[in-house]
Each structure stands twice: as structure tokens, then as C-alpha cells.
Amino acid sequence: MTALLLTLFLARPARSPVAAGTPRPRLANVPAALGLAVNLPESASVAERQKALEQVRSAGASLFALEVSWPAAEPRPRRYDVASVTRTARLLRQSGAVLHLDLPLVNGRAREVPADLAAFSFDDPKVAVRLGKLLDALGPALADFSTMSLGNEADSYFADKPDELRKFLRLFDGAVAFLRKKAPRLLVGVTTAAPTDSHAPVVEADLHRKSPALFYVYAPFSPAAPFIHRPPETIDRDWNAILAAAAGRPVGFTEVSFSSAPENGSTPEKQADFVRRMLRLAAETERSRLLFARYVPWRDPEPPTVDRQGLPPLPVRGSAMGSRPATPTDSSGRDRKSPFPQSGRPEGTRDEGARRAAFFANRGLVKADGRPKLAWREWTRAATAIP
């Protein structure tokens, strides 16, 4: 993934360069950043990917998310492979982008640490030392990132693991203290389902209790009907409540999604209304409160890539450009072993599986064949292009 981004940014005209030490603008002076996960078929050419990148950039997308898998970044103990992500981050920052880094120690229902650390608890000194060494290796790149998450949908992973949660929080607290010295401008947190949707609210609250920043996945579903969307106007009430409850800490939405399919209680018009409201909230909220909102994905997947169980294909978690590398997760970022999004609840009826499939197949702003939906037209109309 980072190699592809590198190719694209070497090919595109450079924007005004941003030096590594250049102070970022005061967060209170600018609105929230917008991100859009660009997912194209694997067969797409470099030219097609370049065109897609330019499209989303010209439509106002300025936030890019990169993921570093700890096992991939440390293929052998104390041997690090981070040069590609370091250079990609540098080029993205020089283009004027805002960068978010995912280094998930847990990802959905999966624990992501090097194989030789798999048997050790999160609070074992060996794990803390090795994580510190990885962060040292990432040091040059950390200056280019604004935010960093150390877990993805962590409330799902820890929902039934209270003892492991306590151990993880000790490791997390140590990592925050370490990074405060190493990269003082970097805002660190853990990503969970939004508090309005989490099926493990106590765990979600514990994970965020000491986080400098609060990161959430947001797709508003009815609690009584999985994968049936609540009305588009729900986002106004939910996000205002989330921002108020943050009590001064900044919030970032790493994944925001809303289907256009009738199976999810939606229509193309409802999806467009949701996107319009999301863009308005981002434009009207200072970045000191709302860091970014990142819609996932730009494009519906090709029809054959959604299987009959409602699970999206491996391995896209949001983007083939500017987002996630191939990982053992589905395109929502959830481990395939997790039968229910953002929860850990058991899988329901066959109808629920069909609704799940419809959600992942129809949450894009553009159809799989490239035709724009009403939501994409709303995005391009409402979003402010990057100068």
C-alpha cells in the first residue's frame, strides 16, 4: 500500500512543500479535516488510481490514514521495515495532507503483535520494551502524523476480556507517556465504536478514560435491528452529544459509513442527506474539537467480492490509496471471526446476514462501475476543494 502511494505522489505535481518542522496551523482556526477512503479494483492501472486520487483531493479530501501492522513492521525481533511508510508520510505531508496513523495492537477481534510476543500479556515488560523500540524506529515518520490510534474497534476485542483490558490500559498509558516526550504534537488514542453505537459501553468508556484524543467508527444502526440505519438526521444529535461528552478532548471519526440500500432502511436520497449533514458538521466545527471525519469507502466494491455470508473481500479496510494495507481483516476493519460489527454479539438471522452484505456492498459514494450516486454529487457540491 505505501509503495503504491509513493508511486502516485512521485508522479503527481508537487504542492507547496511543507518542511518537517513547520508548525501546523492552530486547530481553533480551521474546520475539521475530511478524509475519503479510495478503494479501486486491484486491476486498476496507476493512471486510474492517479485520476481517482486527484478526484478526491479536488473534492476536499485532505486527511489520509496509513496503517502500520506491528508484525509486518517487525518481521524479525528488533529488525524493522518502516522505510516505506516513513517516506510515504513525508511525501503526503509535502502535498499538504493531514495524516492519521493506525498502529493497532488489537484490530476487531484480533490481537496484532509479533509472533514471538503472542504468549505475553500486554503489560509484560518485554511487550512494552519492544513497542518502544518500534516507536523509536518510526520516529522520523511520527513528526509527519497529527494523530495516532493504538487499537481499532478495541471495544469489540475487550468486550469479554476484562483482565486483558486492564493490562492493555497499562501498556497504553506507558505508550502515551513515551510518545508525549518523543512526539509532543502527536495526539494519541484508541479507536472504538461510537458511544452511541457501542455494544460494550463500559469497555468503550474505559478505553477512552485517559486518551488524549478520542477516535470512533460511526455507522448509525438501530439497536433493535442490526444493519438497519437510523434516520440521516441522527448524525446531528449523535455528533453533538459525542463532542459535548468529550469535555474538551478532540474527537476523530476514523470511519464513517451510511448505505444507500433499501435492505438497510435507506435510499440514495437518505445517503446523500447523511453525507450533506456530515460535511456541514465538519465545516462548522473547529478542528480543536473535531479533528477529522473520514468516510469509508469512496466506491462500492465489485459485486463478486461480497460473499454470501455478508462478509466483504479480503483485504481492503477502506482504501487502496492513502489508507490501509492488506491485513487479515474485512473492508470494515473487523476480523472475519467477528460475527457482528462493533459488538461481539452472536450472528443473527439469515436476514441479518443479507442486511450486512447489503451494507458493505452499498455504502460507497460511487457505484462499483464508477457512476456517481447522489451522495457523491452532494460531496462534490458541498466540500471545499483544497487550494
Inside any domain, residue 25: no
* Residues 6 or more apart in contact with residue 189 via CB below 8 angstroms: 147, 148, 149, 150, 208, 211, 212, 213, 214, 215, 252
Q: How far apart are CA 376 and CA 25, in angstroms?
A: 29
Domain that holds residue 119: 2-13+31-382
Inside any domain, residue 317: yes
Is pLDDT at 340 greater than 80 in this prediction?
Answer: no
In angstroms, the Cα distances linking 247 to 173, 241, 250, 288, 321 are 19, 11, 9, 12, 34
Among the listed residues 304, 329, 303, 306, the one whose alpha carbon sits nearest the alpha carbon of residue 318: 329
Partnered with residue 256 across adjacent β-strands are 218, 295
Percent of the chain topping pLDDT 90: 71
Is pLDDT at 379 greater than 60 in this prediction?
Answer: yes
pLDDT of 286 reads: 97
Averaged pLDDT, 290-311: 80
Q: Which residue has the higher pLDDT, 349 or 223?
A: 223
The count of structural domains within the chain is: 1
Q: How far apart are CA 263 and CA 270, in angstroms?
A: 13
Q: How confident is the model at residue 45 (pLDDT cuts 50, 70, 90)?
A: confident
pLDDT of 368 reads: 92
Inside any domain, residue 221: yes
Percent of the chain topping pLDDT 70: 80
Is-contact 198 342, C-beta < 8 A? yes
Averaged pLDDT, 201-211: 97
pLDDT of 96 reads: 92
Average pLDDT, whole number, for the chain?
85
Inside any domain, residue 214: yes
Which of 9-13, 100-104, 209-213, 364-368 is predicted with the least confidence, judged by mean pLDDT? Answer: 9-13
- pTM confidence score: 0.84
pLDDT of 313 reads: 44
Averaged pLDDT, 159-171: 98
Inside any domain, residue 92: yes
Inside any domain, residue 22: no
Is pLDDT at 329 greater than 50 in this prediction?
Answer: no
Q: Which residue has the higher pLDDT, 342 or 56?
A: 56
pLDDT of 300 reads: 96
Q: Report DSSP letters for 79-124, one per residue.
A: B---HHHHHHHHHHHHTT-EEEEE--SEETTEE-S-GGGTTS-TTS
Domain CATH number, residue 112: 3.20.20.80
Q: Strand 106-107 vs strand 110-111: parallel, antiparallel, or unpaired?
A: antiparallel
In this structure, the dihedral spanned by the alpha carbons of residues 335, 326, 359 and 252, taken in order and rounded to 10 degrees, is 90
> All 3 cell numbers of residue 207?
478505553
Averaged pLDDT, 46-74: 91
On the 0-12 / 13-18 / 19+ scale of CB atoms within 10 A, 209 is: exposed
Instruction: Report pLDDT digits (tens) over 113-128.
Output: 999 999 999 999 999 9
Where do we find the cell 469512496? 298
Instruction: Report pLDDT digits (tens) over 276-289.
Output: 999 999 999 999 99
pLDDT of 305 reads: 55
Q: How far apart are CA 69 and CA 77, in angstroms?
A: 14
Q: Strand 187-189 vs strand 147-149: parallel, antiparallel, or unpaired?
A: parallel
Inside any domain, residue 285: yes
Q: Which residue has the higher pLDDT, 40 or 304?
A: 40
* Residues 6 or more apart in contact with residue 376 via CB below 8 angstroms: 365, 366
Q: How confident is the model at residue 9 (pLDDT cuts 50, 70, 90)?
A: very low
pLDDT of 42 reads: 77
pLDDT of 29 reads: 75
Is-contact 217 191, C-beta < 8 A? yes
Q: Which residue has the higher pLDDT, 338 or 175?
A: 175
Inside any domain, residue 123: yes
Is pLDDT at 1 greater than 50 in this prediction?
Answer: no
pLDDT of 307 reads: 53
pLDDT of 350 reads: 78
pLDDT of 348 reads: 55
